[in-house]
Amino acid sequence: EWERPANMQIFQSGNAYVDQNIGLRIHGGYTRRFSQKSLNVYARKDYGKSELEYDLFSGTLRSESTGKKIKDFDSFILRNAGNDWQDTRFRDKLNQALVSDRNFLEQAMEPCIVFINGQFYGHYEITEKLSEDYIHDHCGVKKSDVCIVKNQKLDEGDEATYQEYKELEEWIKSTDFSSSENYKKLCELVDMDSFADYMSTEIYIANKDWGKNNSALWKTTTVDESNPYADGRWRFILFDTEFSSNIYNTVPANINLFEVLNKEENFVNTLLKAALKNPEFKQKFAITFMDIANYNFDTNKVNALISQYDSIYKEPVADTLKKFGGSGNYSNAVSTVKSWFGSRYSSAASHLKNAAGLKGSLTSVTVSNDSKCGTVKVNTLTPDFSSGKYTGKYYSDYPVTVSAVPAEGYTFAGWKLKDGTVIKTATAEIDLDGETTITAMYTTGNGEAAAAVTPDTAGDVNADGVVNAKDLAAFMSVFYGSSNEASADLNGDGKVNILDLIILKNKLL
């Protein structure tokens, strides 16, 4: 594969920040035949510097192992949006951004405009390149210890570790994981939390160009007990996800990705079908799938991010299509993605039920928490409780697990259920029998109960169970300093001010 020397300059807000000699290669599989090519960019000593010392991702990219910003790169991709190059050009970025909190690696992306030899080449996406440097930066393991298997082939690392991967696949095919001992051994070889997150995501977004293709996993060959990422287990990487959300009118919202995976032999589906025979993993996968469906792919969250991207991409995409031609209609493509995510939930949940052999019903669960009193975790999620509640649907085959950590100055008092039952333990498993409500309760340092603030009770300053004019009088008493009621801090910012008054006004009107 050829590599051409080049000089690269990076400008931001009209100022030049990088002027460096680099190497260029064409990137991609099928998409390299497009008129606008994706490019791999390499910094090498042969060209002058072995790294590009510039924050390509505007301060947003941080190491999972240290939390520090990643600002130096030995390579990256200028990606042409892959299969989405004539549509929204942000499908892949959207899919990956929505699950950036999950237990696998994904790629950071940043839009840019590229000129080659002074000629306009349109919008590209600066994208992290999967490499030993990428794993080192994110997970703190030595580059020389990294093995990456991409599209079921050795991509980085040594042949001996790749043979371990192939032996693992054969062992999975021949092993009965309904045995707890066999499943325990599997968990020593593969991070099954990472696997459950990864499979749930790819199946929900219905990435039709995935399975044998566009799949990646990695491990370190040297165990370092001080680093949780260096335990020698295989973990997963999300990349190239844009063949989803009805691209080319070939991926409808009701598509069953479990069935699509079954059409070819591939490692990830082999592992999924084998692991689902184990009751512990089946429960993990069913709960994880619905966590991600409910929270990460919440329609309001998806639409808000699409609107944000639309405002950024609309003009550069139009200019790029004008340069390279094509039949894509940007506005229609954006509408297609919105509509697809708006319709995906029910089909995906139904497909999960059939694939996992679940018998229960899909049940609504609402967890209420006052975020200023403490942090609440629901299954694998740590929801944003700024609205006072988290609502999702789960299959009644399994309980929902909630756990609470009180904030300083508060003590956790228990979980109050719909029927009035109170469970005192900070972590509790709640069986689902019809619509379920769970409220976190706390006491203050002086032992007084802290009212649980939910969308229905926010504004109940005097804690009499209703929001009315009496609460306005109580609020004004606090506002002017004649009393001190924590319940008047309606937005939980630690202050009682005009912002809280606006919230109360909206509740009363």
What token pair was written down for 412? 């956790």
Residue 462 pLDDT:
58
Q: Which amino acid is at 416?
A: K
Asked whether the predicted pLDDT for residue 202 surpasses 80, the reply is yes
Return the H-helix or E-strand segment holding 411.
strand 410-417
Residue 325 pLDDT:
82
Residue 485 pLDDT:
54
Residue 477 pLDDT:
73
Q: Are residues 495 and 416 in the same domain?
A: no
Q: What is the mean pLDDT of residues 348-371?
A: 98
C-alpha distances (whole Å) from 241 to each of 210, 211, 213, 336 are 8, 11, 11, 16
- How far is Cα 438 from Cα 431, in angstroms, rounded to an integer? 11
- How far is Cα 476 from Cα 32, in angstroms, rounded to an integer? 66
CATH code where residue 488 lies: 1.10.1330.10
Q: Are residues 469 and 450 in the same domain?
A: no
Helix (H, G, I), strand (E, B), or coil: what is residue 440?
strand
Q: Are residues 369 and 452 in the same domain?
A: yes
Number of domains forming the structure of the chain: 2
> For residue 25, which phi and psi values (nearest 5 degrees)?
-135, 150
Please report whether residue 450 resides in a domain.
yes
Please report whether residue 324 resides in a domain.
no
pLDDT (tens digit per residue) in 364-382: 999 999 999 999 999 999 9
Asked whether the predicted pLDDT for residue 482 surpasses 60, the reply is no
What token pair was written down for 177? 């994981």
Please report whether residue 130 resides in a domain.
no
| Mean pLDDT over each residue of the chain, to the nearest integer | 92
Q: Which amino acid is at 200?
A: S
Range of the domain at 432: 360-456
Asked whether the predicted pLDDT for residue 329 surpasses 70, the reply is yes
Dihedral-angle region of residue 283 (phi above 0 means left; psi in -120 to 50 means alpha; beta otherwise): alpha
Cβ-based burial of 259 (10 A; exposed 0-12, middle 13-18, buried ≥19): exposed
Asked whether the predicted pLDDT for residue 491 surpasses 60, the reply is no
Q: Are residues 370 and 452 in the same domain?
A: yes
Asked whether the predicted pLDDT for residue 453 surpasses 90, the reply is no
Q: Are residues 436 and 502 in the same domain?
A: no
Please report whether residue 57 resides in a domain.
no
Q: Are residues 451 and 463 in the same domain?
A: no
Q: What is the mean pLDDT of residues 80-108?
A: 97
Please report whether residue 187 resides in a domain.
no
- List of residues 6+ apart from 100 with CB closer than 8 A: 106
Asked whether the predicted pLDDT for residue 493 surpasses 60, the reply is no
Please report whether residue 273 resides in a domain.
no
Beta strands of 264-373 (E only): which ranges?
362-368
* The model's pTM: 0.88
Handedness of CA 107, 200, 99, 184 (dihedral sign): negative
Better pLDDT: 428 or 463: 428
What token pair was written down for 324? 């390279």
pLDDT (tens digit per residue) in 210-242: 999 999 999 999 999 999 999 999 999 999 999
Cα Rg of the chain, angstroms: 26
Q: What percentage of the chain carries pLDDT values higher than 70? A: 90
- List of residues 6+ apart from 234 with CB closer than 8 A: 165, 168, 189, 190, 191, 217, 218, 219
